[in-house]
Amino acid sequence: SATDELKGRKIVITAGPTYEKIDPVRFIGNYSSGKMGFALAEECARRGAEVTLIAGPVQLDTHHSRIRRVDVETAHEMYEAACRDFVQADAAILCAAVADFRPESVADQKIKREKEDEYVLHLRSTEDIAATLGQLKQPAQKLVGFALETNDEQQNAEGKLERKKLDFIVLNSLKDSGAGFRHNTNKISIIDRQGRVDYPLKSKQEVAQDIVTHLVAVLSNDAS
């Protein structure tokens, strides 16, 4: 039945934004709501998987008893949780909008407005969680990434597929109204080494079903 296709499978999902501290009251963040990742967690659990949902700061609840939730704030915390839990997992879906950079140092007092009309913040790269898991990945483990591109989407997505050693990548379209950040709907394409499939605009719940159906197929290719 539809509810046991992933029975006994362990799936790690990252979701939401990360917050990178600037000082005690400020951070660098992004508009990710976490809705897509949470919908994926619910859908994997509904099909029988044991889910570890590593969530950045979001305003969402988890409902399913097979979802274990790990709340994190920063890219580094998300990286540590993901590396720790991936070892045991059959698959990871990396849906989080991870900050690419964090302030080189965190001010221990609130930064004051200076007389000068500019303030320079030094940033350092964060760890790439997807690429790290791609390195750790064993042959039976599957890795799913997301891409949000503003230009050359196909070429960039294919580049990420290879560089991060993903099994497939979900391309979010920014061109379509209703798709992506903060919306309840999304329009995706799935790109793998076989090619590309475009899906119509759907609710994030239905999009999650399409993505998980693709993952189920990828996981069962190895079993047969």
Is 164 annotated for ligand binding?
yes
Segment near ligand C5P (CB under 6 A); pick from 4-12, 53-61, 108-116, 121-129: 121-129
Please say which residue, 6 or 54, places its beta carbon nearer to ligand C5P. 54
Tell me if 147 contacts ligand C5P by CB under 6 A. yes
In the complex, minimum distance from the CB of residue 216 to ligand C5P, in angstroms, rounded to a whole number:
19
Q: Report residue 135 as tokens.
A: 């390195």
Residues composing the chain: 224
30 catalytic residue (yes or no): yes
Is 10 annotated for ligand binding?
no
Tell me if 36 contacts ligand C5P by CB under 6 A. no
Tell me if 130 contacts ligand C5P by CB under 6 A. yes
Please say which residue, 100 or 176, places its beta carbon nearer to ligand C5P. 100
Among 146, 186, 211, 219, binds ligand C5P (CB under 6 A): 146
Q: Which of 94, 173, 170, 101 is nearest to 134 (CA)?
A: 94
In the complex, minimum distance from the CB of residue 75 to ligand C5P, in angstroms, rounded to a whole number:
6
Catalytic annotation, pick one of 30, 151, 156, 186: 30
Binding mask 79-118 for ligand C5P (x = CB under 6 A): ---------------xxx-x-x------------------
Among 32, 33, 74, 126, binds ligand C5P (CB under 6 A): 126
Residues serving a catalytic function are 30
State the binding site for CTP.
100, 110, 146, 160, 164
